[in-house]
Amino acid sequence: DAKTTQPPSMDCAEGRAANLPCNHSTISGNEYVYWYRQIHSQGPQYIIHGLKNNETNEMASLIITEDRKSSTLILPHATLRDTAVYYCIVRAAQTGGFKTIFGAGTRLFVKA
Amino acid sequence: GAVVSQHPSWVICKSGTSVKIECRSLDFQATTMFWYRQFPKQSLMLMATSNEGSKATYEQGVEKDKFLINHASLTLSTLTVTSAHPEDSSFYICSARGSSGRDYDEQFFGPGTRLTVL
């Protein structure tokens, strides 16, 4: 079973920041938080990941709470092309043997 | 990020035939490959995990004799749907993970193969 909880859907206005929350209250000390997104009829695309510090890349920012029980993915300036299903996943860091299990994700609709 | 390709991108076949889907990691060596299945408006469901040179490990409820997985090299895995039936129609996605030398492994996904069984 997925170890994360996300809202099923969210709306965002084009050009505004999209903040997607994720709860992972049972996360273990060696587990990273990963975010992927899936645009319709495509394979999932990696966005960002983190362990305990906030992270930022060219796509998004990841804010992880101090107790690591929740996180927020931030798309700073959402565009129509960001409409997709966003998956928050926790996954162990050690090599080999672990599996990526997808939950239901959040369906983000970016509206003009 | 690394590139994972799948071939074919879509396939239509008659009921009872077998279909092979290829998954390749193009610019890295994939020590582990995963196969997922996704039905319309549902999330990805993990079918099996395979490590190069060894037998695949199937998730509960996935028939290993129906979904044959071969991971013969560090860049290629194949999924064969044997004696396909209309209920096997789905979007099949592979994923490849390689060792990057860091304390976490990168995992990348293919574009998916849409299988339609008539």
Task: Give the pLDDT confidence score for residue B1 in this predicted structure.
Answer: 63
Closest chain B residue by Cα to residue A33: B104
Q: What is the mean pLDDT of residues A57-76?
A: 96
Cβ neighbours of B110 in A, within 8 Å: 43
Q: Which residues are registered as beta bridge partners of A88? A: A35
Cβ neighbours of A41 in B, within 8 Å: 91, 112, 114
CA–CA gap between residue B83 and residue A109 (Å, rounded): 39
The proportion of chain A whose per-residue pLDDT surpasses 90, expressed as a percent, equals 79
Q: Which residues are registered as beta bridge partners of A111? A: A13
Q: pLDDT tens across A26-65, in order?
A: 998 888 999 999 998 899 999 999 999 999 999 999 999 9
In this predicted model, which residue has the larger pLDDT, B89 or B50?
B89
Is A87 a residue whose pLDDT tops 80? yes
Average pLDDT score over chain B: 90
CA–CA gap between residue A32 and residue A57 (Å, rounded): 16
Task: Give the pLDDT confidence score for residue B69 in this predicted structure.
Answer: 94
CA–CA gap between residue A14 and residue B77 (Å, rounded): 40
In this predicted model, which residue has the larger pLDDT, B41 or B79?
B79
Task: Give the pLDDT confidence score for residue B5 in this predicted structure.
Answer: 95
CA–CA gap between residue B72 and residue B82 (Å, rounded): 19
Q: pLDDT tens across B94-118, in order?
A: 999 876 555 455 788 999 999 999 9
Task: Give the pLDDT confidence score for residue B103 in this predicted structure.
Answer: 46
CA–CA gap between residue B91 and residue B86 (Å, rounded): 13
Is A19 a residue whose pLDDT tops 90? yes
Nearest CA to B33 out of B90, B80, B73 is that of B73
CA–CA gap between residue B54 and residue A1 (Å, rounded): 25
Rg (CA), chain B: 14
Closest chain B residue by Cα to residue A87: B43
Task: Give the pLDDT confidence score for residue A94 in this predicted structure.
Answer: 55
Task: Give the pLDDT confidence score for residue B72 in this predicted structure.
Answer: 82
Would you call A49 an interface residue with chain B, using a CB distance cutoff of 8 Å? yes
Question: Which of B45, B105, B112 faces A95 most closely, judged by CB atoms?
Answer: B105
* Amino acid identity at B77: S
Angle at B49 between CA A3 and CA A107, to 5 degrees: 40
Task: Give the pLDDT confidence score for residue A97 in this predicted structure.
Answer: 53
Is B17 a residue whose pLDDT tops 70? yes
Asked whether B48 and B62 are in contact (CB, 8 A), the reply is yes
Is B54 a residue whose pLDDT tops 70? yes
Measure CA B117 to chain center.
17
